[in-house]
Amino acid sequence: MIALVSVTASGRAAASSLATAWGDEVRLYGHEGESAADALRAAFAECPAVVSFLAVGATVRVLAPLLRHKTTDPAVVCVDEARRFAVAVLGGHHGANELAHRVAGVLGCTPVVTTASEAAGATALDSFGAELGFTLADPRFLPLFGARILSGEPVSVRGAQRWPLPALPPNATLVDDGSDASDAGANGDADADLLISDQLSLPATSQPTLVYRPPSLVVGVGASRGVSAQEVLATIDAALAAGGLAAESVVRLASVDLKADEPGLVQAAAMRGWPVVFHPAAALASVEVPNPSPMVAASTGTPSVAEAAARYDGAGRPLADLVVEKTKSAVSAAVPVSTVTVAVARLRPRGRLAVIGLGPGARDLIAPRAVAQLRRASVVVGLDQYVEQVRDLLRPGTEVRITGLGAEEERARSAVDLARTGRAVALIGSGDAGIYAMASPALDYADADDIDVVCVPGITAAGAASNVLGAPLGHDHCSISLSDLHTPWEAIERRVRAAAEGDFVVSFYNPRSRQRDWQLGKALGILAAHRPAGTPVGWVRNASRGDESRGLATLGEFDPAMVDMYTVVTVGCSQSRIVGGRFVTPRGYAWAQ
């Protein structure tokens, strides 16, 4: 819930705009007769984020006595009376920076972010690994490490093997020497270690160590009917302690589906804020475990509940590694038999591939999600011209792998293979990632469920060209590539004939090159046999870019020699027409009676 605090007419108008855009996300404060200070105090007490339509100084004076800690205080953004700026004032790395950008996106103002890591383009340490679910074990060394990172002093990063982290700055060395994750202080060039570990014990060292807890542990639980939540939690705590494991790294509890309605188990998960999942007995029965039990198999349908549930990560995925074998709950005179069994397994981190469409070329047509995914990556793979288009958006330390024109499959395989090593990879291309672009070869090659994949849409060349020409795609339309590099001409010709007979508006990609100079003329001839010679034809070269050019003609007059591989040619249907100098296809057919 985002609080919107306003007490002036201008502020209320701006708050209304945000409320319209964000709907149920917001709550309005500052009603008639309510003072600005009272409204702001109430919003700060009741909501995790506040947009204050008051001056920064006034906001700070009201909120200063209420501040406790930046990790728990609400994020606060101030918007000035003229709606020129959205300033992240409190909790920059805990939501305010992002909120300032969101506010700016709606109100059209400039976001103002002053945190040092953002100014340097680096990852903020207090949100390091947040997208992966990392939590900070002890924030005492945050100022020291933040200063070292920003000052360029050496810092070693340990335990990051196979975690798909964003790019690290050049002075942060990723140590992957086969040593244990808790072996801090082994990098002689660094005076400080950043450690990613689910283990409680750390070696005695004089070097400061900043510890992050990854979401790496799954706790499998077997329980008798009527077990209490306290018994479940006590057994879990004992198992974690026996393994020297941090409870902050528990990502979920797991059990057999027979226990889905067991109140004590469900309550135990809720008390700790852990999700709980229940797997079919048949799936758990196939999991290899060190301590199977015929008695458990007879009552549940699987020889193991705790160990198997801890290891099972879903059909087709690798099993988690068991780190604490089955542990039984304590017995006493009141409880003479064990009622809970617990085992703990460590998940294997998965690499990540983001396939990103950059749109037609203009910077302001790149989707915000694409920018976020670029900054989320540690390595970017792409054609040289596309990499140069976004190089300034990448975080310092991002590895860039460039390939030349025509190496699409090589780029796709390289990106997938890098992700399989545990990297966070961005594979970039123009237009939309899934349309004549890199998603298809990449996902075709990624034939196993061993990496996480996200595809980011972009504005297509056909869409950009359509908006330059007018509204040619206002009714049913299709896109056809005239390149026979991957598709035989016979198949292309069949598709053009089908589009002609179906009276589709057609956008031709790759219409003409020096080596292929006849295909577009042939395709236009096929269309001309099914629609009038006066049918509009539009062409746009480098749509949305600085050297954009365009033109309109008719099907009978159009000269294919004026276009090249950077051009999209759009041919109208029988109902398309030129209206006021613009290419328009009506939404409906107006057939002559």
Q: pLDDT per residue over 343-391, tens digit each?
A: 999 999 999 999 999 999 999 999 989 999 999 999 999 999 999 999 9
pLDDT at 179 over 50: no
Whole-Å CA distances, 120 to 76, 116, 123, 174: 22, 6, 9, 20
Arithmetic mean of pLDDT over the chain: 90
- The predicted structure's pLDDT at residue 464: 96
Q: From CA 466, how far away is CA 509, in angstroms rounded?
A: 13
As a whole number, mean pLDDT of residues 284-309 equals: 95
The residue-averaged pLDDT of 491-495 equals 97
- pLDDT category of residue 263 using cuts at 50, 70 and 90: very high
Look at residues 448, 387, 431, 453 and name the one whose alpha carbon lies nearest to residue 542: 431
| Three-state SS at 246 | coil
pLDDT at 331 over 90: no
Instruction: Report the alpha-carbon angle 401-403-409, nearest 5.
Output: 105
- pLDDT at 142 > cutoff 90: no
Q: Would you state the pLDDT for residue 205?
A: 65
Per the structure block, which two tokens stand in for 5? 């605090």
Query: Does the pLDDT value for residue 186 go beyond 80?
Result: no
Alpha-carbon torsion (217, 220, 226, 230), positive or negative? negative
Share of the chain above pLDDT 90, in %: 73
The pLDDT value given to residue 547: 93
**pLDDT given at position 337:** 66
- Using a pLDDT cut of 70, give the percent of the chain over it: 94
pLDDT of 431 strictly over 60: yes
- Tell me: pLDDT of 187 over 60: no
pLDDT value at residue 593: 39
What pLDDT, on the 0 to 100 scale, is given for residue 338? 72
The verdict on pTM exceeding 0.85 is no
Assign 119 a pLDDT band (cuts: 50, 70, 90).
low
* Span 447-467, average pLDDT: 94
Question: How many whole angstroms separate alpha carbon 559 and alpha carbon 299?
Answer: 78
Quick one: average pLDDT of 407-432?
Answer: 94
CB 11 within 8 A of CB 53: yes
Cα of 60 vs its chain's centroid, Å: 33
pLDDT score recorded for residue 143: 82
Provide the edge-to-edge strand list for the sheet that holds 567-571. Answer: 477-481, 505-509, 567-571, 536-541, 549-554
HSE at residue 29, side-chain half, CA atoms within 13 A, is: 25
What integer is the mean pLDDT of 197-223? 88
Reply yes or no on whether the pLDDT at 78 is more than 50.
Answer: yes
pLDDT class of 206 with cuts at 50, 70, 90: low
pLDDT number for residue 183: 44
| pLDDT for position 324 | 97
Q: Hey, what are 424's tokens? A: 């966070």
Q: Residue 335 pLDDT more than 70?
A: no
